[in-house]
Amino acid sequence: MSPSASGRARSITEALESAARFLRETRGRSPRLDAELLLAHLLGCSRTQLYARGTDPLEPSLLLAFQELLERRKVGEPVAHLVGWKEFYGRRFAVSPHALIPRPETEFLVEAGLQLLERSAPIRPDILELCTGSGAVAVTLALEMPHAVVWATDLSEQALELARENVLAHRVQERVRLCHGDLFGAFSTPRRFDLILANPPYVGTERGPAPEEAVVRHEPAMALFAGPDGLEVVRRLVAEAPGWLVDGGNLVLEVAAGQIEGVEAMMQERGFRDTGLVCDLAGLPRVVLGRWEER
């Protein structure tokens, strides 16, 4: 894409069409959407406003900046990193290379947790999100459940810094508590939670499908990989979770579709009751849940 050969300034519509063609050449999944997000970011407007302003000419300096972003996108840099945010559960969250970019499928983890809490109806639920990364899940839970207190932990200090930024941006600092540490090791004193949920790292270094090259290049290894079969973190989490749940509390985990039945069996073996699976938009089972009852 270049400024018009005729010397005439390009309009927003023309620039978007040519940008989408440019991104399509590299098997981009959503070239038009990506182009719109990048241009809207540069112009400081919404995607809808791009359409209203379709015939407006673009300044050459803006066209150049757009071209630079398109080049970076073309070699695999995520749109979220280029614009600095990602939408999750209808809200914007800051992103950084130190934490996983929140994925749409993780909204099912949130949804499952909210439904379980509505059913068990504790007055002031105590929720724990392990492996919080950007904090998108923890902040969403706090906003959707105004009486809940949400504890959120991560092993990465840099991910927690990003989570702090998101907690402050969404003004839930009174009810979201960030803790640093290895799973439950983040707590120095014992506690019990009504709900524990996590989207832990679950990619196997030797087994299971490998993530896309761009994901490995641009997102932290600590957020993705968990031992040869990808279940090192999940195994510890399922083993230890009962010691941190109230009687009747629930554990909800997001894992890969190919792991889910094994993780459900792991939970049943550990003594979780009424286990179940939740499917994502593609119809793949991605979330597994179960209830802990003291005998």
Ligand X SMILES: C[S@@+](CC[C@H](N)C(=O)[O-])C[C@H]1O[C@@H](n2cnc3c(N)ncnc32)[C@H](O)[C@@H]1O
The footprint of ligand X (CB under 6 A) covers: 99-100, 102, 106, 130-134, 136-137, 153-156, 159, 182-183, 199-201, 222-223, 233
**Radius of gyration for the alpha carbons in the chain, expressed in angstroms and rounded:** 21
| Two structure tokens written together for 169 | 């941006």
Judged by beta carbon, residue 58 or residue 160, the one nearer ligand X is 160
Least Å distance, CB 146 to ligand X, is 21
Q: How buried is 3 (Cβ within 10 angstroms: 0-12 exposed, 13-18 middle, 19+ buried)?
A: middle
Least Å distance, CB 150 to ligand X, is 12
Least Å distance, CB 63 to ligand X, is 34
Least Å distance, CB 56 to ligand X, is 36
Judged by beta carbon, residue 19 or residue 162, the one nearer ligand X is 162
| Position closest to ligand X via CB | 133
In angstroms, the CA 68 to CA 87 distance is 23
Degrees (nearest 5) of the Cα angle 45, 48, 52?
Answer: 90
Least Å distance, CB 62 to ligand X, is 32
| Two structure tokens written together for 22 | 């440019």
How would DSSP label each residue in 125-187?
-EEEEES-TTSHHHHHHHHH-TT-EEEEEES-HHHHHHHHHHHHHTT-TTTEEEEESSGGGG-
Judged by beta carbon, residue 23 or residue 263, the one nearer ligand X is 263
Judged by beta carbon, residue 7 or residue 90, the one nearer ligand X is 90
Half-sphere CA count of 277, side-chain side, radius 13 A:
17
Q: Cα dihedral angle (245, 251, 255, 258), rounded to 10 degrees?
A: 120
Judged by beta carbon, residue 28 or residue 133, the one nearer ligand X is 133
Judged by beta carbon, residue 21 or residue 180, the one nearer ligand X is 180
Please identify which residue in the block is written with the tokens 């230890």: 240
Least Å distance, CB 96 to ligand X, is 11
Least Å distance, CB 88 to ligand X, is 8
Judged by beta carbon, residue 159 or residue 196, the one nearer ligand X is 159
Judged by beta carbon, residue 38 or residue 139, the one nearer ligand X is 139
- 30-42 core/surface letters (b: 16 or more CB in 10 A; e: else): ebeebbbbbbbbb
176-180 sheet: strands from edge to edge: 176-180, 149-154, 126-130, 193-198, 245-254, 285-291, 273-279
Q: Describe the chain by its helix, strand, coil percentages, rounded to 5.
A: 45, 20, 35
Least Å distance, CB 136 to ligand X, is 5
Please identify which residue in the block is written with the tokens 């749409």: 104
